[in-house]
Structure 1
Amino acid sequence: MPTLGAIADDFTGATDLATMLVARGYRTVVTVGPDGITDSRSGAAVRDADALVVALKSRTAPVGEAVADSLASLRALRDAGCRRFYFKYCSTFDSTPHGNIGPVADALLAELGERRSVVVPSFPATGRTVRDALLSVHGELLEDSPMRHHPLTPMRDSHVGRLLAPQTGHPVRLVGLDTVRAGVAALKAALDEPESADALVVVDAVTDDDLRTVSAAAEDLALVTGAAGLALGLTGPRPDADAARATPASALGAPGVVLSGSASSATRAQVAHGRTRLPHHKLDLVALRADFTGSVDALVAFARACWQDDPQRPPLIYAVDDLRDLQQAAPPGAEPAAELVERTLAACAARLVDAGARRLLVAGGETSGAVVTALGVRTLSIGAPIAPGVAWARAEGRVHDRDHAVDLALKSGNFGDTTIFTEAWSVLV
């Protein structure tokens, strides 16, 4: 029975955290929304799990919707047996002055009858660190990083306390690195001080050891909040990750495909590398707007032809390889480019699974959400790791009235090495 329950504000974030939990010895299942916990077809997977992660698409949803979905998830997790909880958000603290991190944290605390939690966006393995409450990305302040240009949550302040304060009804307290480095007892004493009794406490962390200290000091809290790195300090019920990993759904050499909708600099580099080694096809937004069905038919036919030519080289279908692609405005009244990309790749995913694809690597948080929805995925059981924050998962779902099991990797746009599109397949055995 699961004892640890987590709520993630997007799909790649859910698998990011689940990957960390599996590495700590937790047999982990990701459910798509709270209904995935109660779905009768998910029963065995949920009951056998040590940890459950509910994947939401709430990061940029209206505040009221994000809060309502998060509360529904918390209640479903409690009903499933979970007694400790984790609110997972992006390590770049993606939000606006209105939310959604603060309002969701406040609502979860109120539902649990608690008044305090930690706020820990650090994830050193992916280059995210916090010192003096300032969040850096690969050594560059958040406000100077590419995140300052994010179309939905432009991050133009690096101070986590200042970012959080307008969003929450709780006082925001800061605990610095000196206290963390003084050890678990010192940090726990700081968290137990009266001024922290009704507060969201932003805690510095620069290294994995710092995160282990924070996690140990916060072990008595009913709710912790942060990026996936905070899970480093958790002690799982199993002695090693191999005991917690799900087995693959596909056989060696099964047809695969890369679907990339992300425009991040990391993914663009991955696309550039993939184009030198994989058969590839770039989305033509003009053609898609003129004839969506015919264009998707052509993309599916391209992938199937690639499988026939060489099943060991998964085709790459992608949206962006140059920032100039983002500067092409949609015609008046037309579907925005980002939504068209998501809809296209989701349609391709469903059609390709119908055609026999059993291994899908998806790049981009919004794209991943669209693909998971199109595939009717109920649960994701985490398997072999690919990179920090990225793993293969056995996905159980339903497409066109037929149940399926496929191997699915959901990659945040900023995660993974340049070679991930070509090398990820080697760990799936």
Structure 2
Amino acid sequence: MTKAALQKGEIFLSYYGDDFTGSTDVMESLALNGIPTALFLKAPSQEEVASFRLKNQISGSAERLQAFGVAGISRSLTPLEMDHELPGIFEHISKVPSRFFHYKTCSTFDSSPGIGNIGHAIDIAFRYFPSGIIPLLIGAPSLNRFCIFGNLFARVDGVTYRLDRHPTMSRHPVTPMDESDIRRHLAKQTKRKIHHIDLLALEKSEHLQIDFIKKLSIEEGEYLLFDTYTEKHLRNVGKLINRFSLEQRQLLVGSSGIEYALCHYLQENGQLELPPSPKSPAKVQELIVVGGSCSPPTKIQVEWAIAQGFADIRLNTVKLVNPEQAESEINRAKQLMFEALERKQSLALYTALGPDDPSIDATNKEMSRLQRKGIPSSAVLAGTQGRLLREVMEKTGKRRVVVAGGDTSGYVSRALGIYALETLMPIAPGAPLCTAHSHHPDFDGLEICLKGGQNGKQNFFGSILHGKGIS
């Protein structure tokens, strides 16, 4: 936190994450850079922010918050659903004075005019956080995301792909990325003009960068997209955001690259001290993995865990979506979980292995047969996994948990009564191990990781089990 804001007890930054697991990414980037941060599952009141106390103090000695976020779902909403969901949340957040407000998007900019429309979300946010320039920063080198001459690239297994040729994002089932140019992609979602400062301009001196932006003649409420390829570019962007921002409630849009840019700037100017690296928690006897993601990386991670001796507990999803068979399948899975934990064995509870798992098509067909198209199978399955985890841990005691998948993370958190999270230690970029704040005394203080499907390497669950190392 800036020294001046620490003395005043101000909130430096508030944010809304457009999906659940991506919201932890911002919390991690702030906390590890010295800004005490919590992530709330619902928009908190000003009193709740002021009275919140951190359980861990990895950001220094401060227990009080200097930043907070709200884990959202707008990435999966239509514009009409956003109109219902977002105004109340933004109004709540706006009542807590802060230097910046960040609308956090995925670093792969998942969105379309019909689902997760970022342009529409910003039109709503602008009512509560009116700003001059709207900085737009997607690139995050630490996450292997790069914006080069306006085009977004992502690196996977040592190979860098333009986003419209990315093996996963180009065939995303809901928001496939068929355009890598952020300006063209966002132009389908907004009428606001999108300006751009590229790598060549960012390589120039600071005063020439400032002159470049001034010559763009950006009007109120127009976007400024920043290229980002290296950490040096992030530092330059951090300076420019501070230079061209309002002193309060400045609206920012993009990935956690925004937090890294701001923190780099503050640290270089002696306004923020980098805290010591957090201590690794001890290895646990058993880890419970709850897999709701169908991404290729999660498939590899689940298979790795099973090969290492984790109990293999695959849910029969066809039965789970059938009201006549669901309860027996839940009882079967629950018994297997009890037996594994009795043996002191870690376990992997999952619904599918990868996007081509035949159970996905079979489950969708069963849903159609039962004429329950109005209830997404992901919601049914994620809710079941949350219930299973809660009931098992209520009887056997809390254990370290990792959840893979945004929908599943949300349902698990609700099932465990979790209302806020704080960073405990980094495991993989964007997927920290967290400490939970829960209304349920059995789960308050639970060590839990809520990760997106794409995060982490093959041995990610092993890193969580041992509580050390970055996967």
**Is residue 172 of structure 1 aligned with residue 194 of structure 2?**
yes
The question of whether the paired residues in 1 share the 8 Å contact of 2:404 and 2:450 is answered with yes
Cα distance per residue 1:186-239 (max 9 Å; x no partner): 334333345323321121111222222212211242122111122112236763
Structure 2 distance, partners of 1:262, 1:409, is 14
**Are 1:59 and 1:66, in contact at CA under 8 Å, matched by a contact in 2?**
no
Residue of structure 1 in register with 2:69 after alignment: 53
**TM-score, normalisation: structure 2:** 0.82
List aligned pairs for 1:59-208, cutoff 5 A: 59-67=75-83, 69-98=85-114, 99-138=116-155, 139-145=160-166, 146-198=168-220, 199-208=222-231
Aligned twin of 2:4: none
Are 1:259 and 2:285 matched, yes or no? Answer: no
Task: Flag the 1:79–1:152 CA change in 2: closer, same or farther, 3 A.
Answer: same
For 2:211 and 2:456, the matched residues in 1 are separated by: 37
The equivalent residue for 1:303 is 337
Separation in 1 of the partners of 2:280 and 2:39? 15
Q: Taking structure 1 as reference, are residues 20 and 74 closer, same or farther at Cα in structure 2, changes over 3 Å only?
A: same
Structure 2 counterpart of 1:234: 262
Preserved CA contact (<8 Å) 2:107 2:138: yes
Q: How many aligned residue pairs are there?
A: 422
1:380-408 C-alpha deviation (Å, 9 max, x unpaired):
11111111111111111235x96633111
> Equivalent residue for 1:348?
388
Does the aligned pair in 2 maintain the 1:246–1:382 contact within 8 Å?
no
Q: Is the 8 A contact 1:7 1:55 kept in 2?
A: yes
Residues 39 and 68, structure 2, Cα contact 8 Å, conserved in 1: yes
- Partner Cα separation in structure 2 for residue 246 and residue 370 of structure 1: 29
Q: Relative to structure 2, which stretch is displaced further, 42-51 or 110-119?
A: 42-51
8 Å contact from structure 1 (residues 385, 427) kept in 2: no
Greater displacement, 288-297 / 354-363: 288-297
Q: Which residue of 1 aligns with 2:59?
A: none
Amino acid at match of 1:84: F
Q: Map 1:255-334; keep pairs closer than 5 Å.
A: 255-277=286-308, 278-288=310-320, 289=322, 290-310=324-344, 313-322=345-354, 323-325=356-358, 326-328=360-362, 329-331=364-366, 332=369, 333-334=371-372
Structure 2: distance between partners of 1:60 and 1:258: 24
What residue identity is the alignment partner of 1:29? Answer: A
The 1:364–1:184 alpha-carbon spacing in structure 2 relative to 1, beyond 3 Å, is farther
Matched with 1:214 is 237
The one-letter code matched in structure 1 to 2:284 is: G
Unaligned runs of 5+ in 2: 1-8, 55-62
Asked if the contact 1:29–1:45 (Cα under 8 Å) also holds between the matched residues in 2, the reply is no
CA contact (8 A) 2:284 2:465 kept: no
SS at match of 2:76: coil
Distance apart, 1:181 and its partner CA: 1.8
CA distance in 2, matches of 1:262, 1:93: 18
Q: Deviations over 1:111-133 (max 9, x none)?
A: 22313212111122222211111
Structure 1 residue 97 displacement after superposition: 2.3
Q: Structure 2 CA distance, aligned partners of 1:41 and 1:201? A: 31
Would you say the 8 A contact 1:330–1:337 is kept in 2? no
Q: Percent identity?
A: 23
Structure 2 vs 1, CA of residues 8 and 187 (structure 1 numbering), >3 Å: closer, same or farther? farther
- For 1:17, the equivalent position in structure 2 comes to 26
**C-alpha deviation, 1:40, in angstroms:** 5.3
Distance 1:65 1:97, change over 3 A: closer
Structure 1: segments with no counterpart, 5+ residues: none
Q: CA deviation at 1:73?
A: 3.3
Pairwise CA distance, 1:361 = 0.3
Q: Which moved more, 1:19-28 or 1:338-347?
A: 338-347
After superposition, the Cα gap between the structure-2 partners of 1:357 and 1:194, relative to the gap in structure 1 and judged at 3 Å, is: same
Q: Secondary structure at the match of 2:98?
A: coil
Residue of structure 2 equivalent to 1:422: 462
2:379 is matched with: 339
Which aligned segments of 4 or more residues in structure 1 are displaced greater than 4 angstroms? 37-42, 245-248
SS of the equivalent of 1:384 reads strand
Are 2:113 and 2:189, in contact at CA under 8 Å, matched by a contact in 1? yes
What is the rounded CA distance, in whole Å, between the counterparts of 1:202 and 1:173 in structure 2? 6
The aligned amino acid for 2:240 is A
Q: Any conservation in 1 of the 2:41–2:419 contact (CA below 8 Å)?
A: yes
User: 1 CA distance for matches of 2:48 and 2:192?
Assistant: 38
